[in-house]
Each structure stands twice: as structure tokens, then as C-alpha cells.
A and B are shown apart, each in its own frame.
Chain A
């Protein structure tokens, strides 16, 4: 009995130590064999949300591409900044990939975290969902133009729900105010779903959240979407015009998710990761999954993604400054 037990003890110890040895052993600088072991994606959001779903579905496809297992690690806290900080400070060998989202370009402006996009090297952008101006079905306006005219007649009275002060949907509503020259009453909620619920209940007049988040209510005929803040129409609601089509010039504003690695990761490793993950994102199963979940796919290469984040950070800095949130 005792012998058996000490054998068990030893094997537990061996497992522990061995498990760590594996991660330290394979750190060659040669990228030609990359990846030689499993990759981990840090998801700075809780299990069960849109970010988590995107990461897991993509990891599933990418496993086939890379021929290595890909783990997803949810690391929550600080509106995502805790997980992202860990990702930025991880070993720069390409085995720790971080899923970042739009808030990364806002942390600094909002004074939430000193973390910025340039502490990462981008692999590529995967998903983009634009803001969409959605109002109650029985509202007295049917087009963006009529909405703006109504808001001009009732300055500060139209209440627009968002998913939290300083959230991307708050920024979107503020961009709308600026572009249309109107003044609205911003009503923050704890997330997009409660804001949509308040709209359906008739407690607020409009929301500026993504098409996916209003899709159910749209199909039920409880709400109507007037326009989307993107360059092209949304696949989910193809009948709804873009802001430009409806006569208002506005920067595309919305939430996005992409993959990054720490700043010092070798370029050839990043290139391999970019190639692999882009291939995975183009897979039909992934597209199907994203569609049923109402998530839009928009791919940007490493370079494009970097430029995009830079542009975002500038734009958001201005708007957040004007809102007095910095």
C-alpha cells in the first residue's frame, strides 16, 4: 500500500515538473518549424460571450491548419485590460496569442489602463460589427433623415441607450450627434442586451448597438433599424441603408476583434500565424458559425489591422475628449 502511494506521489510530481519542462524545452528561434507545440489564445472576456465564441470557433478551425492543439484561456478583469496586459507581457515566441477588441484603443483615453495597441504586434482582424441606429417600431420616424429632424426639434429629449459610459456604442451615439448636429440624452446600461430590453419596453427612444444584438427584436417587429454605421450594408439586415446612403457622412464605428502577439515576436513567426489564422477564418464552418451567432466576419491583414487600430485610437481620443470622459 505504502509503496503504491509513494509511486503515486512521485508520478504526480513528475507530471507537474514534466508538464512545465515541456513548455521551457521548445524555444528555438527557428520559425520554419513553427508551431512545434500547442498555442494558447488568451481571451480577456468571460466564457459564453461573443468574444469567447469567436475565439473558440476560430481556434477549432486553426487546429487543423496548424496541426497543433489550440487552447483558449479566459482571463477576465478590468474590462479586458487584465487579460490583454498579460498577453502583451507574455513570452514573445508566438505561442501566446491574445484576442483583443475595440476597447484596447480606448483604455488610455478613458483612464482605465495605460495599455495601448502599440504594445502588440497584430496578426490580423477577424470580426467587425457596426453600430446600427435602432428605434421602437411605433416611433414617429421611419428614416434616418426623419429621426435627425425630430431630434433637432426636440434637443436633448431623445434618449439613446448604450452599453455603458465610454463603451463603443456610447462613442457611436456621440459620433452620430456630431455628424448630424443633434443633441441626445445618453442612457448607459450594463451591456447591450439590457439597453435593447429597455427599448422594447418603451423606456428609451433608440439604441446604437450592433445588428446582431437587435436581430431578434427586429424579426419580431418590435423595433426598426434606420441605418448602419459602416461602409457597406450588414449581411444580417441587408435592407437597411448605411449612414452614407441615408445622407449622413460618418466614420464607420463598431466593435471589432482581432488577434495579436507581444511586440517583440519575430516577424517570420507573426507571418506564419497570420497565414494560418487567416486561412482558418476563411473556412466555411467558421463562416457558418459566425453567421448563426450574428457576428460579422471582416478580415484585415497584420499591416491593415495596425493602421486601423491607430486610426481608431485617434478618432476615439477626440470623441472621448469631447464627451469629457478622459
Chain B
């Protein structure tokens, strides 16, 4: 866990520093002792301190073995699927993209059963249609491609 700790500690310090610097653009009202900038500054300073403690702790500790098995590339693969899904919904509509996402993820995780490959994507879309669109009257996006 040494390397990830260094990286996350640094990222936290950088982000907190960025938020801290933005607070100087906030207007300062004369009659307010504690203004809009006060709490964000407290939080970002605390994050900078805690991030530094994390770096120091990691530096002092002995190497710990990372027991987790590395399946991260598959998780990142799933993330890419969902990112693509969220990007295309406004264009091709919710139902077609959902069908494609679920089918895609099933194939990605090497499901071979043909019945599952059809029933799950269709069933998911149908469930959303009945439960969210009909019963709860959520306005499910239909996509600009068709309007």
C-alpha cells in the first residue's frame, strides 16, 4: 500500500490547496466576522495536514504487503462501459442503451447462456419501463435521435 498512499496523499493535498486558493476570491463582508470563506478554509487546511500525516506515516512504516488480488483492469473496463452508457443515453434514449449496456456487461463477464443474454437485458428495460415510467411517472429520456 506504499505507492497508493503516497499518490492519494499528494492528490488530496493538491485538491485541498486548489480549493483553499479559490476561497480568496470570495467576497468579504465587513459586518461578518465568519464569512463564506471560513469553513472551506478550515476543511481544506485540515485536509492538507491530514494528507501530510498520511505521507509521513507511510514513509515511516515498513512495507506492507498488498493482499488484494489485482482485478482492477476489469473494474476499469466496467467503468468505461458505464461512462459510454451515460454518454449515449441522451442520443439514443434510455431503453436501447440499457439493453446494450446490460448485454455488453454480460458478454464482458463471459456469460455464454443465450437465454440469460436476452432475458436479462430485456427484463431490465421492461422493469424500468413498468416501475419507473408507468408507476412512478419518471420521464425517462427517449433520446434526441428519435425526436
Query: A residues bordering B, Cβ < 8 Å?
Result: 1-2, 5-6, 8-9, 12-13, 15-17, 19-21, 23-24, 71, 73, 324
Residue in chain A with minimal CB distance to B118? A5
Query: Does B33 make an interface contact (CB < 8 A)?
Result: no
Can you pick out 23 interface pairs between chain A and chain B where the beta carbons lie within 8 Å of each other? A2-B115, A5-B115, A5-B118, A5-B122, A6-B118, A12-B129, A13-B95, A13-B99, A15-B95, A15-B129, A16-B93, A16-B96, A16-B142, A16-B146, A17-B146, A19-B142, A20-B93, A20-B143, A20-B146, A23-B142, A23-B147, A71-B137, A73-B139
Chain B nearest CB: distance from A75 CB in Å?
Answer: 9
A9 pairs with B142, CB closer than 8 A: no
Q: Is the interface of A mostly helix, strand, loop or mixed?
A: helix
Chain B nearest CB: distance from A159 CB in Å?
Answer: 14
Query: Does B126 make an interface contact (CB < 8 A)?
Result: yes
Number of interface residues of B (CB under 8 A): 19
Query: Does B58 make an interface contact (CB < 8 A)?
Result: no
Residue in chain A with minimal CB distance to B139? A73
A17 CB contacts on chain B under 8 angstroms: 146
A20 pairs with B96, CB closer than 8 A: no
A24 to B137, CA, bound (A): 21
| A23-B147, A73-B139 known; A16 vs B95 contact (CB < 8 Å) | yes
Query: Does B42 make an interface contact (CB < 8 A)?
Result: no
Chain A nearest CB: distance from B31 CB in Å?
Answer: 10
A19 to B147, CA, bound (A): 10
Other A-B pairs, 16, CB within 8 Å; known A8-B126, A16-B95, A19-B142: A2-B114, A2-B118, A5-B115, A5-B118, A9-B99, A9-B118, A9-B122, A12-B95, A12-B129, A13-B95, A13-B96, A16-B93, A16-B142, A21-B146, A23-B142, A23-B147
A21 to B99, CA, bound (A): 20
A8 to B115, CA, bound (A): 13
Residue in chain B with minimal CB distance to A72? B137
A217 to B93, CA, bound (A): 49
Query: Does B29 make an interface contact (CB < 8 A)?
Result: yes
| A12-B95, A13-B95, A20-B142 known; A1 vs B147 contact (CB < 8 Å) | no
B125 CB contacts on chain A under 8 angstroms: 12
Residue in chain A with minimal CB distance to B96? A16
B143 CB contacts on chain A under 8 angstroms: 20
Residue in chain B with minimal CB distance to A1? B115
